[in-house]
Amino acid sequence: MMVKYEELVQKYAELDMQKEEEIAHLKHELSKMMEKFEKLLKKDCELNTQNNKRLHDKEEITYLEQEQESKATVKKNSETVTENAKCLHKKEDEIDHLNHQLTKVKLKE
């Protein structure tokens, strides 16, 4: 009976050692997984930061394009107003000339 008890104690000690080794192995694997997770999390943060920067850059580009288009429109409208003013001035000169001729004709009559 004593032999069996010693065998059981020996077997229990072996199983306990195996369990401790397995726990140590699992802790090591868990540490490696946590390191990988931290690296992935860091990479994810970097990618999110880059993505946000790109979105901001796109918004900035869109704003600058719209501003450039607005400036071009204002310039075009300004040129159109200048042309219209020249035409109006020319027509006013023609009207003045015709009025002057009309006055001459009336005076001759």
Residue 1: both structure tokens together: 């009976």
Tens-place pLDDT, residues 40-67: 999 999 999 998 888 888 888 888 899 9
Residue 90: both structure tokens together: 């020319």
Task: Kindly list the domain boundaries of the chain, sorted by start residue.
Answer: 1-109
Q: How far apart are CA 90 and CA 40, in angstroms?
A: 74
What pTM does this model have? 0.47
Residue 10: both structure tokens together: 């020996």
* Range from 1-5, 22-26, 52-56, 78-82 carrying the lowest mean pLDDT: 1-5
Q: What is the pLDDT of residue 86?
A: 93
Residue 15: both structure tokens together: 């199983």
